[in-house]
Structure 1
Amino acid sequence: MVPHLVTALTGPINELEQRILESTPVIERWFRLEWMEHTPPFYSSVDVRNAGFKLAPVDTNLYPGAWNHLTPEMMPLAVQAAMAAIEKICPEAKNLLLVPENRTDIFYLANLAQLQRIFYQAGLNVRLGSLSNDIKAPTTFDLPGGESVMLEPLIRSKRRLGLKHFDPCTILLNNDLSAGAPGILEDLHEQYLLPPLHAGWGIRRKSNHFKAYEEVAKRFGKLLGMDPWLITPMFNQCGAVNFAEQSGLECLRSNTDALLARVRRKYKEYGINEKPFVVIKADNSHAALGQLTVRDAKELDDAWFHARAKATAGHAIGEVIIQEGVLTNERINAAVAEPVVYMMDRYVVGGFYRVHADRSTDESLAAPGASFVPLAFEQSAQLPQPGMKPGASVPNRFYMYGVIGRLAMLSAAYELEATDPDAESYD
């Protein structure tokens, strides 16, 4: 199913797609050289927004769930990528311990079952070790269709983490550690923990990621001779916002004003008639804040109290990112949609459209009521069709999404290197 684009594909996106397709050998060589110097995240997913005049990532997840929405046709790519990832980390690996979120809803458990299936087919024994205090013995959860998932209590020895009669070489987190890293995951001996602890939301900041993305996009833009703004969401950051004490509003106002002014200049440069907006959210992905859409700094008077009311008691939101809003003008059956690109190691392995009938083009679609439609793989998303007109070919559109996803993934690699607490400093 190909999305319907409300915005006619005759402007910057068409030119961008044409530039990317003509530069495929250059792009692939550039990525290849980058991966010789940098280590990709073990797996990741990227939310992409196509405004018709720009195409940009708005969020990069280093602990992606929803693997169950990848279709069977996408499985071979995922298995091959999993093999490549494991071979680089622990070639002799036999056992993989997957540590999930403390959730047992059927949608999340179906995601775990899909991950187990991928790594089993990649040649690994996979078991699930739960951080939840409620899991005191092996517990089986049945899924629709006859499948089941077993969660087991983690066992920590002096220097290793595992399960009863199960000693893994590699531990894969599918838990974003938003509450911080529990001690049971620290100081492991001769075990690979993926992603590393500093990738968790207790430490990670969106502003660090998008700072890295800006640099990557500038270099990519120079490589292709294009304006990096066409693939970049601009942003500002405030580090002194406290909802409990109602302080920091001036920082939000001034940074919102400044960012909106920058976006207006770009809209004027490209003759874009939309009204610019920004999205305000917690820099560490704190769910209590949600997302605030603002078109004028004056709106913050209302938005401020709205956000404060949503903030959970006792939580002061300290750091906030103000991000250029990117419209999504894609539709599936008249509902607003956005592509989500899934990657493992350095490979695009699939994805889906996140669809929400009750949301508008300037709102987050990652909300209750969202549904998921698989990306339509007529051919591999990695293989563009040369000679096709821009916008006319499904693989070409998905190849472009994959390029943006990989730019975000490369930025995450840069981000994790820069924030690694164990890295040597040369300052």
Structure 2
Amino acid sequence: MVPRLMTAFSGPLLEIERRFLDAMPEIERWLRGQWQEHTPPFYGSVDLRNAGFKLAPVDMNLFPGGFNNLDATFLPLCVQAAMAAIDRICPDARRLLLIPEKHTRNLFYLQNVAQLAAILRLTGLDVRLGSWSPEIDRPTPVALPDGSSLLLEPLLRSRSRLGLEGFDPCAILLNNDLSAGIPPILQNLDGQFVLPPLHAGWALRRKSNHFAAYDEVAGDFARLVGIDPWRINPYFSVCSSVNFHERQGEDCLAANVDAVLGLIREKYQQYGIEETPYVVVKADAGTYGMGVMTVKDAAQVTGLNRRQRNKMSVIKEGLAVSQVIIQEGVHSYERVGSGSDEGVAEPVVYMIDRFVVGGFYRVHSGRGKDENLNAPGMHFEPLAFETSCSLPDHCQNPDAAPNRFYVYGVVARLAQLAASLELERTAPIEEQVACA
């Protein structure tokens, strides 16, 4: 199923798509050169927003949890990309320990874990699942809706190595974003690759660091293809020392919201865009769509009521919000589905290593084009992408499905490249690790 983009807003985006198609050889050559200089994260997913006049990433997840939402036709791409990543990191790897999130009762999430484990096993690895959850004190089978099951086992720490009983892995793949902090059992390991690195977790990571790196990447790329970088890049700013319960930091919030809205208004005026500018205020660390609010006027962030303050005060694992990013809101004019299932949609592109391996649409029938779609009531359309985002078709129009999805894939790879820079710049002193 191909998404429906409102044609009234397709003109400017068609121009961008045409630029991407015309510059395809230069784009792929430039990206190839970037990957020679920078190591991509093991995997990632990017939330994009398509406003018709602008296409930009609004979030970058380094611990993607929706592999079960990818269409089965993407499986070969996933396996090939995983093989390339493993060959680069540890060519002799035979055993891999996969550590998922602790919420073992979320069957939708566990179906993602099962699919991820299946992909990794198809690369030739012996894959087992470990957990530090107190609930997992012995090998524990978990039944899945499709009739299959997962076996979760308690982690065992032996001096400076981590594994399971009778299982000593070369590599450890985290599908746990470390929102609650880095547990001691993962610290100071010797001779084992931890993927992604520990500082990629939300205990240390900040969205503002990612978008600062993306701003640099988008600027370089825009010069390459001859476009205004704003067409693929959201404005943002940051407020620290925020405490919503105590109303601390409201002046900083109001000033930054007003400043970002002012920049957006200038661009809208420059391009004759009649939409209402808005920003999204969200926790600078964290995921799951928590701690997020849409703002169209600076006055909206002062004098928040108790319900609004409670909503913005905590994120996953009940952690308090102390720093927020004020990000330009990007309207989404794509709609997917029919009848009661029709809703505003945003593409989510999945990558392993430097390769796009598929995507799907996050859809919400109860939200508007200027609202956060990562909220209760959303659903996914796993069949929305008819192509892999890797192969454009120059014989078709720029907005034909393979060409639009190619553009999505390029912008997603820019975000993946920005994540590479982000992790390089925020890394602690490197420790020498080698394959066991």
TM norm. shorter chain > 0.5: yes
| Aligned counterpart, 2:83 | 83
Offset of residue 376 of structure 1 = 4.2
With over 3 angstroms needed to count, the CA separation of the structure-2 counterparts of 1:304 and 1:38, relative to structure 1, is farther
| Aligned counterpart, 2:434 | none
2:161 aligned with 1:157: no
Identity of aligned residues (%): 58
Q: What does 1:20-39 correspond to in 2, within 5 Å?
A: 20-39=20-39
| Aligned counterpart, 1:365 | 373
* Equivalent position to 1:324, from 324, 328, 344: 328
CA–CA distance in structure 1, aligned partners of residues 408 and 387 of structure 2: 14
2:427 aligned with 1:420: yes
| Aligned counterpart, 1:133 | 134
Offset of residue 201 of structure 1 = 0.3
CA–CA distance in structure 2, aligned partners of residues 348 and 52 of structure 1: 22
Q: Deviations over 1:316-363 (max 9, x none)?
A: 421110000001110012311110000000000001001111111111
| Aligned counterpart, 1:401 | 408
| Aligned counterpart, 1:267 | 268
| Aligned counterpart, 2:92 | 92
CA–CA distance in structure 1, aligned partners of residues 113 and 84 of structure 2: 20
Offset of residue 242 of structure 1 = 1.4
CA–CA distance in structure 2, aligned partners of residues 83 and 192 of structure 1: 16
| Aligned counterpart, 2:12 | 12
| Aligned counterpart, 2:59 | 59
| Aligned counterpart, 2:118 | 117
Say which is worse superposed, 271-280 or 305-314, in terms of deviation.
305-314
Structure 2-normalised TM-score? Answer: 0.94
Offset of residue 144 of structure 1 = 1.8
Say which is worse superposed, 365-374 or 186-195, in terms of deviation.
365-374
CA–CA distance in structure 2, aligned partners of residues 170 and 86 of structure 1: 9
CA–CA distance in structure 2, aligned partners of residues 289 and 67 of structure 1: 21
| Aligned counterpart, 1:385 | 393
The residue identity in structure 2 corresponding to 1:39 is T
Secondary structure of 1:128's aligned partner: strand
The residue identity in structure 2 corresponding to 1:406 is R
Given that 1:46 and 1:341 are in contact with CA atoms closer than 8 Å, whether structure 2 keeps it comes out as yes
Q: Deviations over 1:94-130 (max 9, x none)?
A: 1110000001211011001101110010110111001
With over 3 angstroms needed to count, the CA separation of the structure-2 counterparts of 1:303 and 1:400, relative to structure 1, is farther
Offset of residue 72 of structure 1 = 1.2
Pairs aligned (count): 423
The residue identity in structure 1 corresponding to 2:169 is P
| Aligned counterpart, 1:221 | 222
CA RMSD of aligned residues (A): 1.7
Given that 2:206 and 2:285 are in contact with CA atoms closer than 8 Å, whether structure 1 keeps it comes out as yes
Offset of residue 18 of structure 1 = 0.1
CA–CA distance in structure 2, aligned partners of residues 159 and 423 of structure 1: 16
The residue identity in structure 1 corresponding to 2:396 is M
Structure 1-normalised TM-score? Answer: 0.96
CA–CA distance in structure 1, aligned partners of residues 305 and 251 of structure 2: 11
| Aligned counterpart, 1:351 | 359
Given that 1:97 and 1:128 are in contact with CA atoms closer than 8 Å, whether structure 2 keeps it comes out as yes
Q: What does 1:162-173 correspond to in 2, within 5 Å?
A: 162-173=163-174
With over 3 angstroms needed to count, the CA separation of the structure-2 counterparts of 1:370 and 1:287, relative to structure 1, is closer
Could you tell me which runs of 5 or more consecutive residues in structure 2 were left unpaired when the two chains were aligned.
432-436
| Aligned counterpart, 2:202 | 201
Offset of residue 297 of structure 1 = 0.4
Given that 1:143 and 1:149 are in contact with CA atoms closer than 8 Å, whether structure 2 keeps it comes out as yes
Offset of residue 374 of structure 1 = 2.0
Given that 2:289 and 2:372 are in contact with CA atoms closer than 8 Å, whether structure 1 keeps it comes out as no
CA–CA distance in structure 1, aligned partners of residues 386 and 202 of structure 2: 36
CA–CA distance in structure 1, aligned partners of residues 383 and 223 of structure 2: 30
